Amino acid sequence: MNAQIAVLLGQDGISNGAIYALLALSIVLVFTVTRVLLIPQGEFVSYGALTMAAIQAGQPSAIVWLLALLCAGSAAVDVAQVLMRSERAPALRWAFAGKLLYPLVMIGLVYTLPLATLPMALQIALTLALLMPLGPLLYRLVFQPIADAPALVLLIVAIALHVSMVGVGLLVFGPGGASTTPLVDAMVEVGGVRIKGQTLCVIAVALVLIGALYLLSNRTLYGKALRAAAMNRMGARLMGISPVFAGKATFFLAALVGAMSGVLIAPMTAIYYDSGFIISLKGFIGSIIGGLVSYPIAALGAVAVGLIEAFSAFWASTYKEIIVFTLIIPVLLWLSLTSRRVEEDEA
């Protein structure tokens, strides 16, 4: 291996690690607030990549019908909730109207706009507009009714949702893979080293999203509310912070991060309907390195996973995935040895 190869591998490792860092942060965020280990996070990645590819091909994505179906299901649940109450909540009526109008607007846009000739910024915006609502809708239909269930039950439901979303992805996008055009199709020379423009774009967008998540969680009232719900759900409820809002907000952010990650990674490799699971699993390793608690350590661990994956592909491509996933074993051993055990004193 010479210096030029090491630089190329480092570029790939850092760009992939940036994607894994985004996914790790979203997994940590969702877990700390809702206790849900978001196994389906990878499906947002594959949905984002394949939806963007369909839009660039000028084909109306069938994902809009999934959006309409989930909106209709959520609206029906809201109606049933209102009918079971003696009062009529205006907020629920507005939410019901929005859940009916939004998918109709998206269907109109998808089937009337010249998708293939739209500027790339509008194509990305349309992709995100189709996929971001899926997060809070899935929380409303799947996890909100069992929000107080044991963590093991939430994990089993998350796995079931992952399997269902993989099947839906096959139905909506088909078995074929797809890739998109690069966001930046250029090479930048820095100190005699040629760096792909797409790599710089991925790193820049990842840093912006990570910075935005940090500012949201530490500098805004809504972010502080999410942190309060993560630390003490009962205490947050007593202070007027809705755990339902916190859950929907975190799933919205997870859908945003997942869909944007799919848009970023699609120009670098072909994405299939089931590709997201392996990608998110590497982000999950980063979140485990952070103990499912620490955002900075999770991000650094995810970048390390990307670098190890890149150099393992050069030295032992056959065992690349084995090397990456074996990393989780010493981390779990270390966490089990250093974490304090809480004994339950029950008569």
- Give residue 107's pLDDT: 92
- Give residue 89's pLDDT: 58
* Spatial distance between the Cα atoms of 246 and 229, rounded to a whole number of angstroms: 7
- Give residue 52's pLDDT: 93
CB atoms within 10 A of CB 230: 21
- Give residue 46's pLDDT: 93
Alpha carbon of residue 279 to chain centroid: 11
**DSSP state letters, 11-55:** HHHHHHHHHHHHHHHHHHHHHHHH----TTHHHHHHHHHHHHHHH
Question: By three-state DSSP, how is residue 332 classified?
Answer: helix
- Give residue 281's pLDDT: 84
Does residue 22 contact residue 257 with C-beta atoms inside 8 Å?
yes
- Give residue 344's pLDDT: 40
- Give residue 256's pLDDT: 92
Which residue ranges of the chain lie beneath pLDDT 70? Answer: 1-3, 85-96, 190-193, 230-232, 292-294, 339-347
Class at the top of the CATH hierarchy for domain 3-58+114-336: mainly alpha
- Two tokens, residue 32: 């700390």
- Give residue 24's pLDDT: 85
What is the per-residue burial (b if ≥16 Cβ within 10 Å, else e) of 171-200? ebbeeebbbbebbbeeeeeeeeeebbebbb
Helix (H) or strand (E) holding 189: strand 187-190
- Give residue 66's pLDDT: 92
pLDDT tens-digit series, residues 101-117: 888 999 999 999 898 88
* Spatial distance between the Cα atoms of 269 and 68, rounded to a whole number of angstroms: 30
- Give residue 192's pLDDT: 64
Total-model pTM: 0.85
Domain boundaries, the chain: 3-58+114-336
